[in-house]
Amino acid sequence: MHRNRERSSALIEFIDTWRASIATELCFGRSREGRRRNLSIYQRCSQIGWGDEGGGVSTRERADRILRKILPRLVPNPVHAYYAEPSLVFSSEDDRAQPSETLISLALEAARVSKGIALDDLDARWSKTGPPNKRHPYLRPSCWPGEHYRLLAGLTVAVQPQLVVEIGTGGGLSALAIKKVLPIGSRIATFDVVGWQAGRSFNVLTGSDFEDGSLVQYLADLSKQEEFYEHLSILQRASMIFVDGPKDGIFEQRLLDNMRSASFDTKPMILILDDIRLWNMLGIWRKVSFPKLDLTSFGHWSGTGLIEWG
Ligand SMILES: C[S@@+](CC[C@H](N)C(=O)[O-])C[C@H]1O[C@@H](n2cnc3c(N)ncnc32)[C@H](O)[C@@H]1O
């Protein structure tokens, strides 16, 4: 049973990655990143007894190799960037969810404030730990627009939340950007499935960041219904929720579905969805039916979406 579930999630992951890497190659030529991700999916499939059992080349891999040779020759490469991800542009006027007055005013105020926010301290912390891998050789948290950390701080100033919930602590950059401008007496509850003390190479948090009690980490997977309902009372008190999880095409949709099944009375409740322009996130963003605004030009290059929840 467990093995079957693992197999079907590996299949979904494989199809998504394969589709994404084909699109990457259509847009950007043969990408090292696409090849790396495909390789890791093949490795995962073989770990769970999928694909080529005999150590040779599977039919899927052969078909994939052929496509990879053909596609870049058919479509010229229009952009060269160190880190590229496949995406799609599409009309927005036929999206049933349009931005509200509240969202537009908050976004304008947040962008105005972000312009004056300095995050040199985060740059310094980041440069000490070093980038997690070669994908981010140029990452500087204070880069704005392009990175979203100054916008997150700007939104915190604009929303003035008593409680911020973050989903996806990661190395802690976003939590610290928000904490820096948090109103006195306000708190951040940050969720992850990995503890901040797990020893990740890209961690920037230290014990002293938690000393005043305004930053608390919870270990939970909020896409799972039982864990979501266990922590629902925390989410219900938040007026700003920042979702920066795995973007695997599954987690974020389940989280939003869980949220839709509950009631949120805080008004306005602003949900910030990271990476909305990534292939896996396009459909999830499009399906959001509450007032929403794509704020990518003032946020993260991979997409920043604002939702007025409820
Ligand atoms: C992109 S990182 C977050 C980066 C962080 N917000 C920042 O800007 O510094 C994504 C995080 O999501 C976490 N994650 C993965 N699956 C998760 C899940 N099911 N629930 C919560 N967090 C998850 C990963 O462990 C990882 O730390």
Q: Residues 25, 155: one domain?
A: no
What distance in Å separates the CA atoms of residue 237 and residue 247, rounded to the nearest whole number? Answer: 25
> Residue 61: what pLDDT?
65
What is the average pLDDT across 107-130?
A: 94
Residue 218's pLDDT band, with cuts at 50, 70 and 90, is: very high
Q: Name every residue whose Cβ is closer than 8 Å to that of residue 249 and which is 6 or more positions away in sequence.
A: 12, 16, 280, 281, 284
Nearest CA to ligand 1 atom 27: 170
What is the average pLDDT across 220-227?
A: 98
Residue 212's pLDDT band, with cuts at 50, 70 and 90, is: very high
Does any domain span residue 193? Answer: yes
Q: What is the pLDDT of residues 126-150, one digit of tens each?
A: 988 865 556 677 789 999 999 999 9
* pLDDT higher than threshold 80 for residue 30: no
Q: Residues 29, 164: one domain?
A: no
Does any domain span residue 56? Answer: yes
Q: Residues 58, 148: one domain?
A: no
85 lines ligand 1 (CB under 6 A): no
Residue recorded with tokens 């802690």 = 172
Q: Residues 289, 221: one domain?
A: yes
> Residue 81: what pLDDT?
82
Q: Residues 128, 215: one domain?
A: yes
Q: Residues 119, 199: one domain?
A: yes
How many domains, in total, are found in the chain? 2
> Residue 31: what pLDDT?
45
Calculate helix-pair angle for 2-28, 59-74, nearest 10 degrees.
20
Q: Residues 168, 254: one domain?
A: yes
Q: Residues 59, 106: one domain?
A: no
173 lines ligand 1 (CB under 6 A): yes
Q: Residues 66, 109: one domain?
A: no
Nearest CA to ligand 1 atom 20: 221
251 lines ligand 1 (CB under 6 A): yes
> Residue 135: what pLDDT?
61
Q: Could you tell me the residue range of the domain that residue 242 belongs to? A: 101-309
CA of 194 to the centre of ligand 1 (A): 8
Q: Residues 214, 270: one domain?
A: yes
> Residue 86: what pLDDT?
82
Does any domain span residue 55? Answer: yes
What distance in Å separates the CA atoms of residue 145 and residue 29, rounded to the nearest whole number? Answer: 26
274 lines ligand 1 (CB under 6 A): no
Does any domain span residue 81? Answer: no
Rounded to a whole number, what is the largest CA-CA distance in the chain?
62
Q: Residues 62, 149: one domain?
A: no
Does any domain span residue 158? Answer: yes
Nearest CA to ligand 1 atom 16: 246
245 lines ligand 1 (CB under 6 A): yes
Does any domain span residue 302? Answer: yes
> Residue 49: what pLDDT?
36
CA of 104 to the centre of ligand 1 (A): 27
Q: Residues 265, 128: one domain?
A: yes
CATH number of the CATH domain containing 294 = 3.40.50.150
Does any domain span residue 85? Answer: no
What is the average pLDDT across 157-161?
A: 98
Does any domain span residue 91? Answer: no
